[in-house]
Amino acid sequence: ENLLLDNFFTDAINKCQQGWRKVVATASIYGVPIPCLSTALAFYDGYRSKRLPANLIQAQRDYFGAHTYELLENPGTWIHHKWTALKKKSVD
């Protein structure tokens, strides 16, 4: 079972989340690397979010290697787009 779902840890994270974010933001502003804290915060935000902009990664992968992508309006249907055709069309 995931510890993030345990009441003890959920309460602790909710109580400390604002401070956690301030530490990561302040370190970033001053150029101080804190990879463990910033990565943990990014993981936490990704874990608790239903939808994220990761579809951009799918589009990039499809452009460079024809990996396909899935539209939110049509789950389960994977599409490959001819991205280079769009590029040629916009140049003309």
92/88 Cα distance (integer angstroms) = 7
Angular region, 2: left φ>0, alpha ψ -120 to 50, beta rest: beta
Instruction: Using a cut of 0.75, tell me whether the model's pTM lies above it.
Output: no
The residue ranges of every structural domain in the chain are 1-52, 53-92
Residues 8-63 pLDDT 10s: 999 999 999 999 999 999 999 999 999 999 999 999 988 888 777 776 777 788 78
- Which CATH code, of 3.90.1150.170, 1.10.1760.20, 3.10.20.30, 1.20.5.320, is assigned to 53-92? 1.20.5.320
- On the question of pLDDT at 86 being above 80, the answer is no
